Amino acid sequence: MSMGQQGQADVLLVHAPASEVKFMQDGYGLTRKLLMHNDYVIVGPASDPAKIKGMASATDALKKIGDAKINFYSRGDNSGTDQLEKSLWAKIGITVKDGSTSNPGWYLEANLGMGDLLRVVSEKQSYTISDRATYLNNKKTISLDILVEGDPVLLNIYHVIIIHPDKFPNVKINYEGAKAFSDFLVSPDSQKVIGQYGVDKYGAPLFFPDVGKTEAQLGSQ
């Protein structure tokens, strides 16, 4: 999204709804379309020292991790995953910020992508939040279990945004290419592919197509 704000992208595929809304309000995006969703899960070692397995509330689980001062690893990269995770800590009154020296000692920022972070968390036998798709893609090579899932606050929603050409009069934004890509993603054929992706390998789709729905409808599922 930072690249989009600098006119260094034509179209974005993003999953940070709160930041996306501001992005659109500030005039950087021309169109924003709901594309698909999956969800986040809290993962950790099978031994589960914080005893959070099976908890229905993600924030209650995080509170137990924080109260026990057991290491939790964050991406620390301002990604959609990072923003979601930090918003959950805020809900329970624990303030954490990227690169802040005031973060709790048990809260560790890795500055890594999700796959690499999962490998680190597995080695350290700690906790983190992951999108389900990346966890499943790495499951065979890591020693982490899904401990908390299904809480509506863990919903991971994706939109496709076309950058507004008028916002960057001195930059050539490829609007036609961006529109073609956006239209392709929301087309019935692509939505069908999205809904089938992962079924052959995992027995369930990794993403759920959402064209024609609203975010409010997703939250009620």
Which of 74, 70, 81 lies closest to 95 in space, CA to CA? 74
Task: Judge whether residue 219 has pLDDT over 80.
Answer: no
DSSP designation for 127: B
pLDDT category, 116, cuts 50, 70, 90? very high
Give the pTM: 0.77
The answer to whether 102 touches 82, Cβ cutoff 8 Å, is no
24's enclosing H/E stretch is helix 17-25
Average pLDDT over residues 3-12: 96
Q: How far apart are CA 162 and CA 83, in angstroms?
A: 22
**Alpha-carbon distances, residue 143 vs 123, 127, 132, 171 (angstroms):** 8, 11, 15, 47
Find out whether 157 and 178 touch, Cβ atoms under 8 Å. Answer: no
Per-residue pLDDT band at 143 (split at 50, 70, 90): very high
Mean pLDDT of the chain: 94
Instruction: Quickly count: other Cβ atoms within 10 Å of residue 74's Cβ.
Output: 22
- Residue carrying structure tokens 């054929």: 189
pLDDT exceeds cutoff 60 at 220: no
**Strand 72-74 to strand 107-109: parallel, antiparallel, or no bridges (unpaired)?**
parallel
Residue 150 exposure: Cα atoms within 13 Å on the Cβ side? 8
User: E strand or H helix at 128, and its extent?
Assistant: strand 128-131
Question: Which range of residues forms the domain containing residue 209?
Answer: 1-221
- pLDDT category, 24, cuts 50, 70, 90? very high
**Which two tokens mark 93?**
């009154």
The whole-number average pLDDT for the span 60-88 is 95
**pLDDT tens-digit series, residues 125-139:** 999 999 998 999 999
Distances (CA, A) of 197 to 38, 61, 132: 12, 30, 13
If one compares 23 and 78, the residue with the highest pLDDT of the two is 23
170 vs 69: CA distance, rounded Å: 51
Mean pLDDT, to the nearest integer, of 75-85? 91
Provide the pLDDT confidence category of residue 221 given band limits of 50, 70 and 90: very low
- CATH number of the domain encompassing residue 64: 3.40.190.10
Overall number of domains in the chain: 1
